[in-house]
Structure 1
Amino acid sequence: MIAKFKPTWMVKTVYNISPDQLKQHGIKAVLSDLDNTLIAWNNPNGTPELRKWMSELRQAGIPLIVVSNNSAHRVAKAVKQLDLPFVSRSLKPLSFGITTARKRLGLSQNEVVMVGDQLMTDMLSANIAGVRSILVQPLINTDKWDTQINRFFEKFVMKDLLKRYPELRWQEDLDD
């Protein structure tokens, strides 16, 4: 059961995931959580680092789609300045949102990767959907109230994961 929470990679930040590394691993599209993964949950403007990373993905022909549990109104407002497509009400930890985004792109399971900052939603949904995953550290140390509940349980899950899979460690990038 604990294996369902295991990320393929653990990278400190999305900004360190280069298009070249994605391509080397056969990844043609990135699906990403929104809050505390791409943008701080309380600051929808994004950072210069995010915009640079998104530009690099675009130049490499790698689409980025937000997969979020938030409402369409909330996600649309948050990604408006970033001009990103999205799947809202994705029902993570179920695979619905990931599968919807993947099929929208016409890609197979091994051609996409799900990026997120939570084991209990993002990594679990990626594993259920049969796609690779990248766990990133949250952009900021505060969360919405509902995410704080997940973070509490996540500590115990992470402890078990690291015990069972000692090779799991935070990396600078995919090839670290």
Structure 2
Amino acid sequence: MSKLLPDLYVDTIFDIDLISLKSKGIDSIIVDIDNTLVSWESEYASKEVVDWFKRIKELGFKCCIVSNNTKDRVVKFNKSIEVYAIHRAVKPRKKPFQKAIKLMNTTPGKTVVIGDQIFTDILGGNRLGAFTILVVPISKKEFLWTRIIRKLERRILRKIEKVS
């Protein structure tokens, strides 16, 4: 059960205290796209998301998108933010997370994994040994499989407290 619990639970990426992460020794960010950064229907990063990526770069963070989505989706989204990116990741498998760590030349202990799904992002990040942050999904509209998984996630969410 502990592998399913995030270290932090927030509403959005904008609620994450980046300075606090830096003070914990974190230098790298692995982040999901769909329903974490934008709704899965949005092809491109919003201005706010682009600005967030500018800020994390200014603070010296390295970043890699790790998405289960297609190459076309990930490449299109990444055009405006220009970070490392891994598509068709098959999260929560360790391999894509390990590849991201290698691309960013860091270690799991210096990495945060940010995502909206417990059974992909949080489980994968915890299996890696990274600090994990769960965000509330941006959109309620989701694929059938994700809706089924969300029912299981709700049981786990009752056990954790969101930071406002």
- Judge same fold: TM > 0.5, yes or no: yes
Return the letter of the residue paired with 2:131. Answer: R
Q: Which digits, 9 at most, give the CA deviation of each residue in 1:76-129, with x for residues without a partner?
A: 122223323201121211111111101111211110000000111111111111
Is the partner of 1:81 in helix, strand or coil?
coil
Q: Which moved more, 1:43-52 or 1:29-38?
A: 43-52
Q: Which digits, 9 at most, give the CA deviation of each residue in 1:33-65, with x for residues without a partner?
A: 110101110012222321221111111111221
Q: Tell whether the 8 Å contact from 1:41 to 1:144 is kept in structure 2 after alignment.
A: no
Return the letter of the residue paired with 1:13. Answer: T
- The separation in 2 between residues aligned to 1:93 and 1:75, in whole angstroms, is 18
Q: Which moved more, 1:31-40 or 1:69-78?
A: 69-78
Return the letter of the residue paired with 1:148. Answer: R
Identity of aligned residues (%): 29
Q: TM-score, normalised by structure 2?
A: 0.92
- The separation in 1 between residues aligned to 2:10 and 2:155, in whole angstroms, is 20
Deviation at 1:169, TM superposition (A): 1.2
Q: Partner of 2:163 in structure 1? A: 171
Q: Tell whether the 8 Å contact from 1:19 to 1:62 is kept in structure 2 after alignment.
A: no
The answer for unaligned runs of 5 or more in structure 2 is none
- The separation in 1 between residues aligned to 2:149 and 2:77, in whole angstroms, is 22
**Number of residue pairs aligned between Structure 1 and Structure 2:** 164
Q: Partner of 1:156 in structure 2? A: 155
Q: Partner of 1:103 in structure 2? A: 102
Q: Partner of 1:13 in structure 2? A: 12
- The separation in 1 between residues aligned to 2:43 and 2:19, in whole angstroms, is 27
Q: Does 1:35 align with 2:29?
A: no
RMSD, matched Cα: 1.5
The answer for unaligned runs of 5 or more in structure 1 is 163-167
Q: TM-score, normalised by structure 1?
A: 0.86
Q: Tell whether the 8 Å contact from 2:45 to 2:77 is kept in structure 1 after alignment.
A: no
Deviation at 1:31, TM superposition (A): 0.3
Q: Does 1:60 align with 2:66?
A: no
- The separation in 1 between residues aligned to 2:48 and 2:163, in whole angstroms, is 18
Return the letter of the residue paired with 2:162. Answer: W
Q: Partner of 2:82 in structure 1? A: 83
Q: Tell whether the 8 Å contact from 2:44 to 2:76 is kept in structure 1 after alignment.
A: no
